[in-house]
Amino acid sequence: MEEKKARDFFTEKEKLEIRDAIIAAETHTSGEIRVHVENHCKEDAVKHAEKIFAKLKMHNTAERNGVLFFLAVLDRTFVIYGDAGINSKVPDDFWDSVRDHMLPFFKQKLFTRGLCEGIKLAGDKLREHFPHRKDDKDELSNDVSFS
């Protein structure tokens, strides 16, 4: 049997829910959040997230504060990857609490809920270091991407 495409993992409604969570989180912070979904990840997940980050041109933010939530759904792999501007300001375990918050949802297969919760928490955390500004631009797409 052919495997379902990653693109079809979420319903249209769920994709919109995730997008709306990103839009809401970005009203609190200048940080830019994206979600990328694949079926499998055949290499080191952090390395792979780094590649996706580059492919999506997520370095193109003024403050280098893009954050990628990368999910390989069939391999049950998940990485939160932040850009240099964030890493220079926060401790190494900055994303651990976000990850820990999301994993119980994923374990119950509540992927949309887990992502939306994580995105919200990431926005709250980023806000301390990268507050939202009046002249904010939406620098990176809020739509979930797939490959």
- Residue in 20, 44, 75, 136 binding Ca ion, rule: CB under 5 A: 136
Q: Which pair of structure tokens corresponds to residue 115?
A: 């992502």
- Length in residues, the chain: 147
Q: Quick one: which segment of 65-73, 79-87, 122-130, 139-147 binds Ca ion (CB under 5 A)?
A: 139-147
What whole-number distance in Å separates Cα of residue 90 and Cα of residue 63?
14
- Residue in 75, 96, 100, 138 binding Ca ion, rule: CB under 5 A: 138
Asked if 44 interacts with Ca ion (CB under 5 A), we say no
**121 residue type, one letter:** L
- Residue in 142, 144, 145, 146 binding Ca ion, rule: CB under 5 A: 142
Largest CA distance in the chain: 51
Q: In this complex, which beta carbon is closest to Ca ion, that of residue 124 or of residue 138?
A: 138
| Shortest CB 32 distance to Ca ion, Å | 5
- Residue in 25, 115, 126, 140 binding Ca ion, rule: CB under 5 A: 140
SS3 139: coil
Phi/psi of residue 34, each to 5°?
-130, 155
Q: Which pair of structure tokens corresponds to residue 131?
A: 């507050």
* Interacting residues with Ca ion (CB under 5 A): 32, 136, 138, 140, 142
